[in-house]
Amino acid sequence: MQVRVLNDNDRENWDNFVMSQPGSQILQSWEWGTFKARGSWRHFVMAIEDGGQIKGGVSILSRKLPILGRSIFYAPRGPVIPFSDPKMLDALIDGICVEAAKMNAIALKIDPEIDDNNAKVIEMLKAKGFIKKKKQVQPRSTYLLDLTRSLDDILMSFDEKTRYNIRLSEKKKVKVHEDSTENGIDIFYKLYRETCKRDAFLIHPITYYTRLKKELIDKGMANVFLATLNDLPIAALFAFTFGERVWYMYGASANSYRNVMPNHAVHWHLIKWAKEKGKKIYDLWGIPVNPKEGHPLFGVWRFKKGFNGQLKNWIGVYDLPFDKLSYVLFDKGVEYFQAARSLLTKGGISDSLSE
């Protein structure tokens, strides 16, 4: 086996490999890394090859840290390896350590899609020096909807209230269409800001979403859908697509006309659209691990639960420190900063990914 950092000529091979793996993780795609590198991250892909064929690997984001003069590695939904083969993980860690020394990195964060009841993988990670973290980067729980069934079967599998709301939106003449243009992104963002103020959460500036157009939408990896009532936009959805899966990434709705159920309409439209594209899985992306009244995402969980997808709980974030002292200082600093930011912006310390 050979471990090496890939270059731009390997982009297509890497994406094809990731798409061929279970889950086909878009956050491990070359394009997602390129997108993040337009901001404050750097990006590189390390692959394990055998006979010129990619057998495993990882897309890593690297970010410089303030004050410490060091950097942190993060592999969103990675690495992409068969965790049943410990030698594969060993080879990958050895390669990552070489790059960590070059970039003065203090730790690697990973959050692969491994079931949280997979004791074998969890013990293997701990044996390699990985530390389980409570603070998540990506949601640890989600619902996966099987799109290989007929539309009638999918609709009838929904909770009765969800079916009722979809039909109500049709009765009220809510229309849904795709608009992945700059104008569609502007409409989405106006609704997203309205949602942000209503539900008290933080969002990226609009430049984040216009960059998504260049790096993902224009490459057929993302789409914007708008729900309208009498031509007035009242809800929007930003979806990602890669391999066999479609993800619900960002959703927004106006304060008015929520009684005509535009959110149900836009999700049902996306499900039908995804089936036409031959997608097999709809990932509803992001629910509380332990939903309860008072949790910031309790309402989101109640809405998504109505689609009756398969509940999946992943193992969450695991850190591999390269420099333990610097890592501890960084870890505490991030904890204090995020608590202060939440206090200033929300009036209290809360975390939508908390458990």
Interval 222-253: pLDDT, tens: 999 999 999 999 999 999 999 999 999 999 99
**Phi and psi torsions of 313, nearest 5°:** -115, 120
What is the rounded average pLDDT for all residues in the chain?
93
pLDDT the model gives residue 351: 63
pTM: 0.93
pLDDT tens column, 156-177: 999 999 999 999 999 999 999 9
CA dist., res. 45 & res. 14, Å (int): 8
Among 60-74, 139-153, 301-315, 340-354, the minimum mean pLDDT is found in 340-354
Strand partners, 223: 239
The answer to whether residues 329 and 319 touch, using CB atoms and an 8 Å cutoff, is no
**Per-residue confidence (pLDDT) for residue 22, from 0 to 100:** 86
Q: Where does CATH 3.40.630.30 sit in the chain?
A: 2-138+315-346, 141-312
Once rounded to an integer, what is the mean pLDDT over residues 201-229? 96
Q: What are 12-30's pLDDT values in tens digits?
A: 999 999 999 988 899 999 9
Reply yes or no on whether the pLDDT at 258 is more than 90: yes
User: Max CA-CA distance within the chain?
Assistant: 61
- pLDDT band at residue 201, thresholds of 50, 70 and 90? confident
- The band of 282, judged by pLDDT with boundaries at 50, 70 and 90, is very high
Q: Residue 65 has what pLDDT?
A: 85
pLDDT score recorded for residue 1: 85
Predicted local confidence at residue 337, as pLDDT: 43
Statement: residue 63 has pLDDT above 70: yes
End-to-end CA distance of the chain: 40
- Using alpha carbons only, give the angle 270, 274, 275 rounded to the nearest 5 degrees: 120
pLDDT higher than threshold 90 for residue 144: yes
pLDDT digits (tens, 9 = 90+) for 312-352: 999 999 999 999 988 988 787 666 445 444 434 444 434 66
According to CATH, the topology of domain 141-312 is Aminopeptidase (3.40.630)
- pLDDT category at 42 given cuts 50, 70, 90 is very high
State residue 66's pLDDT score: 77
Superfamily of domain 2-138+315-346: Gcn5-related N-acetyltransferase (GNAT) (3.40.630.30)
Identify whether the C-beta of residue 184 lies closer than 8 Å to the C-beta of residue 218.
no
